[in-house]
A and B are shown apart, each in its own frame.
Chain A
Amino acid sequence: MAFGSLARSAARSLIGGLSAAAAWSAAAALTALWPDRPESDWAYTSDFAVICGALAVALALAAFAGVRFAVLQRLQRLSPWLLALALFLAAWEAVTAKLGMLPLPFFPPPQAIVEVVIDDWERLAAGIFASARLLASGYFLGAAAGFAIGVAIGWSRLAGYWIHPVLRFIGPLPATAWLPLAFFVFPSSFSASIFLIALATGFPVTVLTWSGVAGVSSTYYDVARTLGANQRFLVLKVAIPAAMPHVFVGLFMGLGNSFAVLVVAEMLGVKAGLGWYLQWAQGWAAYANMYAALLIMAFLCSGLITLLFRLRDRLLAWQRGLVRW
């Protein structure tokens, strides 16, 4: 019985892997054998075909190896997605480069994006680096300040009295509304953007840290107090750990906000980064560059959120039923 189910899962993994490989070879064949429309001059058609073909070979190998190595059978979960992705790329290739059904330059074929990544990688890499530097500076500043302010408001009545009205008044204002002011108050557009990103990150972090600290059950404090805890212990070892689930919701929301402000700040002020690249590409009607930058941004933003959730899962392993990402 156990052997039967094992063999069955191996067979299913093999079939799934091979059908994904077949779909990618089909995409490769379609790209390579069906000539592009006569008037077009896509330089990387064969490269795109080679990439699809290489992926097909890799998938087939993984599928066969999966019969021996159970670890690789986990790839089976991905098979349907990989298959769908290959079909999507093949369809995209067909309606753009092969049939020319979609208007140019707005809808370039996949090989145009490959071309951008290969030919313009230096500029893209510089953009990624600039964006990452700006985002990291602003996000960490905002998160740290938001956390500290949130704990202060949640803990101290005096801090709450003075900071809460300011927070209520200024917090809901979108950080981008400060843009014109920030760009002439700050010495450089870079520092202005850091301020804006920090602001956008800080507000949700502050509010959620505060509500987390304020919501800590008073019996937790009673327990610690009867065991001889001082104020410092109550803040650091009771209030903050108990508030961490809320803090992470704030960090998550702040991260989303910071992406939005980053792109706007780069488009309007900082002449560097992926946001600026997007704007620049659009100005030159270089839509393939824009799609490439968008794809990269999607990967990076999603990657950062994943990273944050991983960190949370590690730190909050004591919680049950965490939201999966």
Chain B
Amino acid sequence: MVAVPTPTESADPENGDLARGTTLTIHDLSHHFQLHGQPLRVLDRISFRVGRGEFVALLGPSGCGKSTLLRLVAGLDFPSTGSLLTDGKPVEGPNPSRVVVFQDPTLYPWRTVWGNVALGPEARGLLHTHRERIKDALRLVGLEGFANAYPHQLSGGMSQRAALARALVNDPMLLILDEPLGQLDSLTRITMQSELVSLWQRAGFTALLVTHDVEEALFLAGRVIVLSERPAHIKAEILNALPYPRHRGDPHLVELRHEVFSHLGLDANW
């Protein structure tokens, strides 16, 4: 398995269990863009903490600034004010221990599936030692037969799997998922959700998922953070202690869903 830690790697000084993910602490984070010379406030004093190996979903209406928050966590942009810490250290730029799976698969069309998955090891000069891992990652997402295919030959679901393998091959400590299943058809989506859960359980990374799909958030995450419209601030935090594997029809999920909808101001329909 690609992401299962070897004993030396999993050394977690605190509890030594399988969870090898990082912690994420966001403190009083605000961010704005310059739009036509005017500051556009996107994030408004956001604070939360994600524990080691936790699966947290950020839920909010589209355009509320969720993706911006993820870019900040990934180190692709820097916040206007406030701080972001992973394992107690400030985020100072992109780092392969925090890998993003984007909304679009964004595979490089000029590389084969194998070449795309090999991107991270290659960028860090580790290609020669990571060949077996790349193979494992492809097997993990069920694409071992498509190593030599080009992205234009893949379906949407397969592309997103390849993007997932490209992230997992780096053994991320924090997997940042930016609506990774948003563009898939509903059947593929349901399958991929279950696969995501089992991957997360096996690998033990910390997962931060952005989505606007309430059911997806509740099915996957142990905690759902509900964001307001732009500028986003935290409206509610909903703990979902339901054990995995979960069932979509579980009455507790239905209850939680109602609670989430009420936070989003949509409870009239339920």
Which listed residue (A220, A233, A237, A317) contacts B106, Cβ 8 A? A220
Q: List residues of chain A with CB within 8 A of the CB of B71.
A: 222
Q: Look across to chain A and name the residue whose beta carbon is closest to the beta carbon of B104.
A: A219
Interface residues of A in 289-323 (CB under 8 A from B): 316-320
Contacts of B100 in A (CB 8 A): 222-223, 226
A214 within 8 A of B: no
State how many angstroms separate the Cβ of A217 from the closest Cβ of chain B: 8
CB of A145 closer than 8 Å to a CB of B: no
Q: Mark A207-239, 1 if CB is under 8 A from B, else 0.
A: 000000000010110111111111001000110
- Taking the complex as formed, is A242 at the interface, i.e. its CB lies under 8 A from any CB of chain B? yes
3 closest residue pairs by CB, A with B: A227-B120, A229-B123, A228-B96
Per a CB cutoff under 8 Å, which of B104, B123, B150, B151 touches A227? B123
Q: Is A269 an interface residue (CB 8 A)?
A: no
| In contact, B99 and A318 (Cβ under 8 angstroms) | no
Q: Measured between alpha carbons, how far is A192 from B152 in the docked complex, in Å?
A: 46
User: Across the interface, do A226 and B94 meet the contact criterion of CB distance under 8 Å?
Assistant: yes
B108 at interface by CB-CB < 8 Å: yes
Indicate whether A244 reaches chain B with its CB closer than 8 angstroms: yes
Q: Mark B106-126, 1 if CB is under 8 A from A, else 0.
A: 101111000000011011100
Give the complex CA separation of A32 and B151 in angstroms. 60
A230: chain B residues at CB < 8 Å are 123
Query: In this assembly, does A241 line the interface, its C-beta being within 8 Å of a C-beta of chain B?
Result: yes
The verdict on B159 contacting chain A, using a C-beta distance below 8 Å, is no
Chain B residues near A224 (CB-CB < 8 A)? 119, 123
Contacts of B106 in A (CB 8 A): 217, 219-220, 222-223
**B contact set with A: CB distance below 8 Å:** 71, 74-76, 94-96, 98-100, 102, 104, 106, 108-111, 119-120, 122-124, 150-152, 166, 170
Q: How far is the CA of A237 from the CA of B121 in the complex (A)?
A: 13
Chain B residues closer than 8 Å to A219, beta-carbon distance: 102, 104, 106
User: Chain B's nearest CB lies how many Å from the CB of A244?
Assistant: 7
Chain B residues whose CB sits within 8 angstroms of the CB of A233 once the complex forms: 122-123
Assembled-state Cα–Cα distance A199/B115 (Å): 36
Q: Mark A260-296, 1 if CB is under 8 A from B, else 0.
A: 0000000000000000000000000000000000000
CB distance from B19 to the nearest CB of A (A): 22
**Most chain A CB inside 10 Å of its own CB: which residue of B95, B110, B166:** B110
Closest residue of chain A to B116 (Cβ to Cβ) is: A223
Question: Is B94 a contact partner of A228 (Cβ separation < 8 A)?
Answer: yes
Min CB gap B254→A, angstroms = 36
B-chain residues with CB within 8 Å of residue A217 when the two chains form the complex: 106
**Residues in B neighbouring A223, C-beta threshold 8 A:** 100, 102, 106, 108, 119, 166
Residues A241 and B110 in contact, CB atoms below 8 Å apart: yes
The smallest beta-carbon distance between A229 and chain B, in angstroms, is 4
Q: Smallest CB–CB gap between A51 and chain B, Å?
A: 47
Closest beta carbon of chain B to A241's beta carbon, Å: 5
Write 21 A-B pairs (CB below 8 A) sorted by A numbering. A219-B104, A222-B71, A222-B106, A226-B76, A226-B96, A226-B98, A226-B100, A227-B99, A227-B119, A227-B123, A227-B124, A229-B123, A230-B123, A233-B122, A233-B123, A242-B108, A242-B110, A318-B111, A318-B150, A318-B152, A319-B109
